[in-house]
Structure 1
Amino acid sequence: MKHITKSVTTVVGALSLVALASCAGGGSDSQSSAGADTNGSSIALPESVEAKGALDVAVYVPYPPYTTVGTDGEPGGLEPDLLRAVAQKLGVTPKFHSMKFEAMIPSVVSGRNDVMIGVMADTEERREVVSFTDLYTAGFKVVTAAGNPASIDATNLCGATLGEAPVSVQHDIVSRLSEDCIAAGKPAIEILDLVNPADNLVTITNGRTDATLIDVIMAAELVKTNDDFEALDEVIEGPDVYTGWLYKKDNHVMINAVCEAVSALIEDGTWADIMGRYGAGDVALTPIRINTETADC
């Protein structure tokens, strides 16, 4: 896939939808490291996780394709599939706890859950109370009506009309691309400000806009389930924002365990297989990051 990088590197705003230098243990973790021989894995786990033989996981469902509800009532989708693969490498059983979005971080901080999965942006403010393993970087696809009737070129959006919600990463990206168009003597990109972000597809259908920017993974799910839309091939890179899983702050043993498991899954191809099934390959971080820093586990 072609990647298009914005000329402006600083973008203000949080992802709409949505520091450790390495994953080495040590520090202020109140849980001691215990060998994992009894669970069939050589990866060290926090004593509490070792004792119960399970990972308590906070999850918000449904948010397809990241999280869905399976026919058995259990969480499915990209994030639970990744977490199950990690749990298998660790030799423990994942126990998912569906929660309201606003209750998820407190549940990790309090120790009720060992990890929170979902599309949560790794920010300095959040790192004051939690730690992150970052799995994805920001990337977007240009989505048009099926067949691309307006002949939109994702590498040159000058003169096109896009519908985006104000105070969103997508709006910031399109605004800066429009500035580049003007600087190059080309027509500006017209931006239709949307009060309701969900109207980005409605305005394409009714002809008010030509296209919109949608998160790579969400775009893959959209075109898989809706024949009315098309995602162009090029990936437009977002700001330097990473998203991933959360843990109690400085829970180094747990973070290191997940990092080692993910590294093993990357090595044997399982991680790429799961990411690929959900169209996440273009934005998957390999290796993953910890608190925005490249992991070395």
Structure 2
Amino acid sequence: MPATPPQADSEAIGRFFQTREQKTMFMKSKQAILSGFAVAVLASSLSICTLNARAADDFDASTIAKDSALASRVPQDIAAKGVLSIGSDTTYPPAEFLAGEDGQTPEGIDVDLAKAMAQRLGLKLEFVTAQFDSILPAIGPRYDLGISAFTITNERYKAVDFVSYFNAGKQWAIQSGNPAKFNPDEPCGKTVGVQTGSTGEKAVKVFSDTCVAAGKPAIETVSMPKQTDLITRLINGAVEAVYAGSTNIGYAVKQTNGQLETIGAITYPSPNGIAVAKGQTAWAQLVADTINGLIADGTYAKILAKWGIGSAAVAKAEVNPAVQE
């Protein structure tokens, strides 16, 4: 879920920026999906009030057997407590969100993957809801891992190590019919929603700075901690567009019954990663080996298929892969 922006395609850049210098400045800066997102009409506004997803029961983590060889490599402090603690911002469907009869049960791609990892390592799972921008600083002291659709970036590498497990790009969402006449190739002067601390937020800042440098009005950025709140604002017309991860945007569009649509192409997919405390190389490698085992036995494919995003799969999980961002 999202520290420089993804690259835009060259044709779009050519339409938006009129000079070579402006182009150069920009370039240097830079799922079946389930039933859910019940939309309530209250007075003159719409809000996303519940998310109660139910997938075909083709993945059951309880059937995954412990791998004794992998379990023997679990760090001593984690093995002693017998619990794998995960920090995650559970407002980012379909990666992670709260659902179930009580509306407080974590579900999603990342949740299923964490369950599978915990089973394979012989650990119980503690999946903890946290604000997105608070997770990475707490990896190690508070959480054993961070799994929250984190785009792997060189900036984030300064704080944590990563294990790649998923690919996602960036996408714009707008109200259906585009009543705000939003043009992703020229977002200057528009009101755009972004999640606080995300790569989408930083990308939009660069877009805005480039607008100003070109003598155009800045983008008015609305930054919020919860992605679901941004989708609600977009439905209500409080923002003209939302810029976020392509899987999240695609899911939101499908779950809001025709009220939203995407605009523009998905820009340059980049790996998402599981965050591991900086310097814990052996632990990071164990996480990668565990995921690769799930890839090899078909469990990983089942999880992605359950959420309708098999095209985002990686062939192999890697520790600290090279990235452009």
Query: TM-score range with shorter-chain normalisation?
Result: 0.5 to 0.7
* 2:73 counterpart (29, 38, 45): 45
The 3 A distance-change label for structure 1 pair 286 and 176 is farther
* 1:222 counterpart (225, 233, 252): 252
Aligned match of 1:32: none
Match of 1:42, SS state, is helix
The 3 A distance-change label for structure 1 pair 109 and 152 is closer
* 1:109 counterpart (140, 154, 168): 140
Aligned match of 1:80: 111
The 3 A distance-change label for structure 1 pair 292 and 96 is same
Does the Cα contact within 8 Å between 1:216 and 1:283 map onto a contact in 2? Answer: no
When structure 1 is superposed on structure 2, of 166-175 and 95-104 the one drifting more is 166-175
Does the Cα contact within 8 Å between 1:61 and 1:75 map onto a contact in 2? Answer: no
Does the Cα contact within 8 Å between 1:142 and 1:231 map onto a contact in 2? Answer: yes
Match of 1:139, SS state, is strand
The 3 A distance-change label for structure 1 pair 80 and 199 is closer
The 3 A distance-change label for structure 1 pair 223 and 289 is same
Between the aligned partners of 2:308 and 2:8, the Cα distance in structure 1 is: 20
Aligned match of 2:288: 259
Aligned match of 2:169: 139
Amino acid at match of 1:104: I
1:68 aligns with 2:97: yes
- CA deviation vs aligned residue, 1:6-26 (integer Å, no higher than 9, x gap): 3365444xxxxxxxxxxxxxx
Between the aligned partners of 1:214 and 1:171, the Cα distance in structure 2 is: 10
* 2:320 counterpart (272, 291, 295): 291
- CA deviation vs aligned residue, 1:76-134 (integer Å, no higher than 9, x gap): 22221111122223333222344455653454333x53212213344445434432113
- CA deviation vs aligned residue, 1:194-234 (integer Å, no higher than 9, x gap): 4456678756765995x554321211231232121123594
The 3 A distance-change label for structure 1 pair 204 and 176 is farther
* 2:82 counterpart (54, 76, 80): 54
Between the aligned partners of 1:236 and 1:148, the Cα distance in structure 2 is: 20
The 3 A distance-change label for structure 1 pair 39 and 272 is closer
* 1:6 counterpart (6, 9, 17): 9
The 3 A distance-change label for structure 1 pair 100 and 212 is closer
The 3 A distance-change label for structure 1 pair 200 and 70 is closer
Percent identical = 21
The 3 A distance-change label for structure 1 pair 11 and 231 is same
1:249 aligns with 2:278: yes
Match of 1:109, SS state, is coil
The 3 A distance-change label for structure 1 pair 200 and 63 is closer
Amino acid at match of 1:214: A
Aligned match of 1:231: 262
- CA deviation vs aligned residue, 1:140-162 (integer Å, no higher than 9, x gap): 234343366899998xx579996
Amino acid at match of 2:275: L
Amino acid at match of 1:224: K
Does the Cα contact within 8 Å between 1:120 and 1:244 map onto a contact in 2? Answer: yes
Aligned match of 1:185: none
What is the number of equivalent residue pairs in this alignment?
254
Does the Cα contact within 8 Å between 2:191 and 2:222 map onto a contact in 1? Answer: no
Q: CA deviation at 1:259?
A: 0.8
Residues 144-155 of structure 1 mapped to structure 2, 5 A cutoff: 144-146=174-176
Between the aligned partners of 1:153 and 1:266, the Cα distance in structure 2 is: 39
Using the size of structure 2 for normalisation, the TM-score is 0.58
Does the Cα contact within 8 Å between 2:304 and 2:313 map onto a contact in 1? Answer: yes
The 3 A distance-change label for structure 1 pair 212 and 259 is same
Between the aligned partners of 1:51 and 1:194, the Cα distance in structure 2 is: 44
Q: Which has the higher helix share?
A: 2
Between the aligned partners of 2:131 and 2:237, the Cα distance in structure 1 is: 34
User: Larger relative CO (CA 8 A, sep 6+): 1 or 2?
Assistant: 1
The 3 A distance-change label for structure 1 pair 292 and 40 is closer
Between the aligned partners of 1:117 and 1:70, the Cα distance in structure 2 is: 18
Residues 30-41 of structure 1 mapped to structure 2, 5 A cutoff: 39-41=66-68
Amino acid at match of 2:249: A
Match of 2:116, SS state, is helix
Does the Cα contact within 8 Å between 2:234 and 2:242 map onto a contact in 1? Answer: no
Two-structure CA RMSD over aligned residues (Å): 4.5
Aligned match of 1:35: none
